[in-house]
Structure 1
Amino acid sequence: MSRHQLGMLIGMSVVAGLLFGFVELAGEVMEGETSAFDKSLLLALRDPLNPDQPGGPWWLARMARDITSLGSTTILTMVTVATLGFLLLLHKRAAALLVLVSIGGGGTLSTLLKMLFDRARPDLVPHGDQVISASFPSGHAMQSAVVYLTLGALLAQFVEGRRTKAYLLTWAMLLTLVIGASRVYLGVHWPTDVLAGWSVGAAWAAFCWMVAEWLQRRGAVEQDRPEATAGR
């Protein structure tokens, strides 16, 4: 088995595992099996003397609101547009189209899943951010996973060295994790909403990565690796 085939096999296993986890979690949520877990964890993040207030120092809530904005539609759109412009400047039109389809598809999937499950937002505590859509899965958690993991994997192909690649991917994962966690801290999502968003978002990002690898090997998408551009 070649290195590429092994990578694809691992990628398929990761996607399947994440989707299985999402389906199992969604089933338990719809049956109400996660209610006690959701409520206990949500309340654990509040001030024990005043559950209407988030726990911790005053600046932590402000920081959470700043972090949560990194997963908003506005910020994710700006990041995506900037990336598309960067790829177009490098004359990588097929890669730009792939990024657009990947991120646009992830956003559409998030909307459809919210409509399908139509779970109510938490009502135990005041919301620390404005919300207008259903709760499951978390759109911030899912779309930040789609955008940051996809772009992290893309940027990793422009640099050499395992440490540098790992640095980019680590930051992509860290952003995804803290954005999702901020939604629970602000009381606008149940913990299982965020877990579901992470699962399906990461699965979508991994699937798109596999498609990109396959298309690159067929020559349908420009090679982004440094060695492909070294001779230019």
Structure 2
Amino acid sequence: MSGAFNFYYMLNNGTDVKAMLAYTATDTVGRTIGGTAGKFAGAAGGLLLFGPAGAIVVGVLGAIGGAAAARRLVVKGRQLFVAEEDARVRAAARRVAEGAADAMPGKIQAWVLKSELMRDSLAGSHANQAKVQFAMSHRMSEHIDYWSCKRTELQKLATNLNREPKDLFERLFILIRRTGIHAHHIQDPLMDLGTNMREYEAECKRFRTTHL
């Protein structure tokens, strides 16, 4: 049944014979080992709780559950087939995060200068000027603090890439959007990341690493 489904998947999803044979073999071996372990564990529990009849029924259920659990582990094991692409995505994501973090001081400094110019231009004894100066200065300080925090988050992301590649990709782009960094500051690493992400997704589809 596993082989037939994988053959169908190959015909309809553009994978190849090598990948089909790889995940057919891992599916079968994983379900066999996991199913056998689940069968005996279930039988032991059924015998303890319900006697001989319970051992038979729960043993069968254990075999099914064990096979399903093993199948999930096998899918994770097939991640080894895309390890190279995975590593390239992570390396590219690190370069993007580092580039974005490196671009932040310039943006922060520009806002510091704007804040200083604003204070100088509104300096004076008039009450309205003082109120406007205080409000604008406070708002600018909030922006500067916010972007400083986002830069710290980018730096942390660049040194901690433990997320799944797709989660990492999404988190990185959310951070970049929130920092307001213009794409030209990180254009090359962004293009590199996009290329590596497409290759990773193609290999995941080829080896069916995301399907249970």
Q: Find the structure with the greater CA-based Rg.
A: 2
TM value normalised by structure 2: 0.32
TM value normalised by structure 1: 0.30
Structure with bigger helix share is 2
